Structure formats: structure tokens, C-alpha cells
Amino acid sequence: MLVDKTMQIHSLTSLISSKARLYIAARQCGLRRGRAGVDGVDWKSYRRQLNANLSRLSRTLASGDWRPSGYSTIEVSSFTGKTFVAHCPTFEDRIVHRVIKSVLQPIADRYLFKDFASGWRASRNRLTALRRASEYLADYGTVVSFDIPCGTIGFSRLAAFETLKRIVKDRTLLGYIEAIFEPLPSIVSAGTGLSPFMTNVCLTEIDELLEALPVVRFGDDYVIFCHGEEEGKATISNVVRSMSERSLKLAQDRFSLINKPNLEDLFLL
């Protein structure tokens, strides 16, 4: 979706309630073959009355009356061996999450997210982060690398929504997003179709804190480029202090100071 720079982004409910958009989102959700939610409905059963279901959902979203149906929880193991709890929405709620993201993502990409930030964005992946990093490595010989523990660092729901409100003025849509995350333990809890998007919204606070520096982000991994070890140590101290002033807790042991780094070693999960 192209957004004109003069556009006032306050009337988005008509987009998320569009039956055509909902149909696309439903088909995309169906391709993922996820498990049924708390209502026991999966793609196979939902699509039997797809037209009627989407017509009803469209009317509910347009009226402002939509509410999420709740979550089931499962324990998931990542490919790195880490175990975490994922909160699984119902199939119909997944459709809503996906259509909201499809509307908000291009707006945020243009008006909110920083150019140096890649990950969980279309056409911005590890390769785009490495390309930008390679430009900095031509002039800097030392890097400070650190990752953000999104689940424990202390991201505020209020701060996240205040950031989102910079680009979204539609109260109905904002209310839907608040309702989606209200039952969850964190604004970045895993499982919802909006979790990666909202993680980027939360990380915008840190992006803006660091944007004056030569920095690249991929996902929740940051690399700051420095002239030498002493500047790197000072950078670590400054970042920890600045984040602490914003009630964001990041321990010094999460930082790595690397001289003459190999480009391919950056942004490894």
C-alpha cells in the first residue's frame, strides 16, 4: 500500500475491515497450517463457510465491536535450543492480526522505522544489514555488538503505544491492537501475528537513542562502529547509562567489543 506523504493516517478501519483484504489474509494464514486456537477452529473448518465468516468479520471490524477470542499457550523450542512460551490466537484472530499488519507495516516503514534497522520488514533482512555494515567497516576498525533481551528489558506498553500513535490516529484500530495485547504478559510476547511488528515499534525507542551513531540493527541485534577499543568501551558505558535513564535494563555482559571483525560474523543468531 503506497502512502502519500500528505496523507493524514487516521482513517484505517475501512482498510482492515475490507473483505478483499481479509480474504487475502485468510488465505495467507491457511498456508501456514497452524494449530486450532481455543475455539477449536482450524483453516479446514473455517474455510467451509469462508464467505459468510469473512462477511461477518468485516462487519464486526467496521462497527468497532471486534474483540479477540483469547489465546492457547504452547511451549516451543527454537532451532537454537531455547524454549519459550508462545500464545496462539484463534484462526480468525490470526486473520485480523495479519490484516492489521498488512496495513500498518508500509506506513511504519515509511514514517517510523529507521533506515539502519533490518529484520521483520519486507526486503530488509540480514543481507541488507551486512551491506550497510560493510560500508562502515571501510572506515571503522572496531565494533560494539549487543542484543536486546526484548522479553526482559522492560519495554513499556504505554511507551510502545505512544510510539505507534505517532503514525496511527485511528482510535478504533488502536483499540483493537490494545485488546490483542491486553491478555498477554508482554507487548512483545511470542505467538501473535503482530509480535514482530510491535517488537520493531518497541525497538524504535532504542533506534532513536542510537541514530546519531554509526549503527546497524538486524532484528534485536545492534552493531555500533568505533575508532578503536577505547572509543568502544566509552560507547558501551554511554549506551548502558542512556538506556538506564529510560528504565531499560541492559547489563554490560551483553556487549561484545571486537577489533577487526569479519563481516560474515556479524548478526549471527
Q: What digits encode the pLDDT tens for the residues 165-221? A: 999 999 999 999 999 999 999 999 989 999 999 999 999 999 999 999 999 999 999
DSSP assignment of 11-72, as one string?
Answer: --HHHHT-HHHHHHHHHHHHHHTPPP-TT---HHHHGGGHHHHHHHHHHHHHHT------EE
Cell of 35: 494449530
pLDDT at 151: 76
* Predicted confidence band of residue 4 (pLDDT cuts 50, 70, 90): very low
Question: What pLDDT does 81 receive?
Answer: 67
Report the chain's C-alpha Rg in angstroms: 20
- Percent helix, strand, coil in the chain, to 5, is 50, 15, 35
Question: How far is residue 210's CA from residue 212's CA, in Å, rounded to a whole number?
Answer: 6
pLDDT tens-digit series, residues 232-264? 999 999 999 999 998 888 888 899 999 999 999
pLDDT(3) > 70: no
Q: What is the pLDDT of residues 16-49, one digit of tens each?
A: 999 999 999 999 999 987 789 999 999 999 999 9
The pLDDT value given to residue 216: 98
